[in-house]
Structure 1
Amino acid sequence: MAEKPDKPEMAWRVVGALIGLGTGFVARKAIEFGWQKVTGKKPPADPDSLEISMAEAIGYAVVMGVGMEVTRIVATRTAAKRWQSWKQKAGGLS
């Protein structure tokens, strides 16, 4: 009997979580590095601080939000395709 497609298997959930953590960390560091190179300033540690301009706080939030989400989507979809490919190859060997 085939697995239900709406209930991911536990192994994929663990792999997906680890991929999400790893890519999130790398993406955040890359975005912070890029922000510093482009603006010449360190990224705002606390965008809610009144010492940071509204434009800078919003700009950083937009860049960080879009960058992190795009990274998550790309990493998750790539990993899912490779997972499915691996499952098909492993299933064909038995």
Structure 2
Amino acid sequence: MADKGDLGWRLLAGAAAFGAGFVARKAITVGWKQITGKEPPTNPESPEVELAEAIGWAVVTGVGIEVARLLATRAAANRWHNSTGELPAALRTATDKIKNVAS
């Protein structure tokens, strides 16, 4: 069973990642419209969408959303560390875990 700290971290990290992904998707959509002059593909898997456009959209959204989630989770981890004095258990390295056991 997860302890309260673990559950708190999961909720914080999940909320941060969800929010960052949502904002990133909106920003990427606006950027796509400005750069290409057209709406992003709603169904890139469709054969009616040009292959280059479908691949471009997949790469841009995949990388953009994942980078936003990574940065948001790292920021949440920093905030967690500042308020609790230690990183969440899920983010501690093996060396950190050994130091905590030895203390």
Q: TM-score range by the shorter chain?
A: 0.7 to 0.9
The Cα shift of 1:43 comes to 0.6
Q: How many residues align?
A: 81
| Match status 1:66 vs 2:63 | yes
2:42 and 2:65 mapped to 1: Cα distance?
A: 17
Contact 2:17-2:70 within 8 A present in 1 as well = no
The Cα shift of 1:51 comes to 1.6
* Runs of 4+ off more than 6 Å: none
Please tell me the residue identity of whatever aligns with 1:47: P
The Cα shift of 1:78 comes to 1.1
Aligned equivalent of 2:14: 17
Gaps of 5+ in 2: 86-103
The Cα shift of 1:21 comes to 1.1
1:78 and 1:48 mapped to 2: Cα distance?
A: 34
Deviation string, structure 1 residues 13-59 (Cα, Å, up to 9, x no partner): 11111111111111100011100110001010000112210000000
Gaps of 5+ in 1: 1-7, 89-94
1:69 and 1:22 mapped to 2: Cα distance?
A: 12
The Cα shift of 1:84 comes to 0.6
The Cα shift of 1:82 comes to 1.1
Aligned equivalent of 2:88: none
The Cα shift of 1:12 comes to 0.7
| Match status 1:52 vs 2:32 | no
Contact 2:24-2:68 within 8 A present in 1 as well = yes
1:86 and 1:10 mapped to 2: Cα distance?
A: 16
Aligned equivalent of 1:28: 25
Aligned equivalent of 2:82: 85
What percentage of aligned pairs have identical amino acids? Answer: 52
The Cα shift of 1:9 comes to 1.1
